[in-house]
Amino acid sequence: MDVHSNITYLILGGHLQLSKYRYIYFSITLLLFILIICSNTIVLYVIYVHESLHKPMYTFVAALLMNALFGSITIYPKLLVDLLSATQTISRPACRLQSFLIYVYAACEFTLLSAMAFDRYVSICRPLQYHSLVRPQSVKLILAFAFCVPTCKIGIGVILSTKLELCKFVLMRIICDNYSLVKASCGDSTVNNAYGLSVMVLSIVPHLIFIVFSYMRILVICLSSSRDFRRGALNTCLPHLVIFLNFTIIIMFEIIQARIPSGIPHIVRLIVSLLYVVIPPLFNPLMYGLKMQEISQRIVALF
């Protein structure tokens, strides 16, 4: 506790086992951050400057890449500073803000992937209705929903956690998350845990069901269509499907390792806790930049 400013500071104890090789970890983290910024920005630039890419499908791709940049900027600058610092501290309000932004990033990723699945479903299964269902106004409403609803849900959970008093001031993490803050608090946290669990389920399960349903319908249509149709559907759906599976598996690993005690080494836990802001932000622009022909051709022309 800072007596003069009356601000509670927390120690990010997850760095304790990283001090020996801090400069190596710093270099790797900085390189990852630069690659994430550059790769996502290049694809976003290509989509922005070419009017032929101003279509709903590419608008959703751009929103997904912007969300990846948002999540990365939330974590990497503070992490880079901590890796070079002798002590890794953060004020409680800043910790709550970081956990809020991280959770919003993860929740928005699922809503955006659902929006992209809807776009592919209508395009392939109801092509005659595509332009009436996926209009520019509809895209704006879907994107507003994809960002606003998760923000509100996560915000309520963070507000609930502010009412709890802290008993522990060391978080065995290298980044802040609301679950760790609740665990470090005193008193009855039943309401917080119940709300957090319900938000986690509602942020994953409905989107998972919808995307699986969409691809089952797309698969049925493809099996009864020509080879050229199947090839075209595969080219547009494969990047999205791979990215969805990739992000879902990573998030499941993070949820399990953070909540279920196990004998997993500390360094492995730390790596797993960062995978969702390492692999998707790097992997997504590569998938869309290489696998979607209209984007890849323009990236080649750019260089």
pLDDT in tens, 13-26: 777 666 778 888 89
Residue 2 lies in a domain: no
Residue 1 lies in a domain: no
Residue 286 lies in a domain: yes
Q: Which residues pair with 89 in a beta bridge?
A: 11
The pLDDT tens digits for 40-77 are 999 999 999 998 889 998 999 999 999 999 999 999 99
Structural tokens at position 221:
């249509």
CATH of residue 34's domain is 1.20.1070.10
Residue 3 lies in a domain: no
Q: Do the beta carbons of residue 152 and residue 174 sit within 8 Å?
A: no
Q: Do the beta carbons of residue 167 and residue 185 sit within 8 Å?
A: yes
pLDDT less than 70: residues of the chain? 1-7, 16-18, 261-263
Structural tokens at position 286:
């590569």
Neighbours of 47 (CB within 10 A): 21
Residue for token digits 């809503």? 111
pTM, two decimals, is 0.90
Q: How many domains does the chain have?
A: 1
Structural tokens at position 140:
């704006």
Q: Note the pLDDT of residue 261.
A: 64
Residue 53 lies in a domain: yes
Residue 183 lies in a domain: yes
Structural tokens at position 72:
């990365």
Domain that holds residue 271: 11-302
Residue 5 lies in a domain: no
Residue 235 lies in a domain: yes
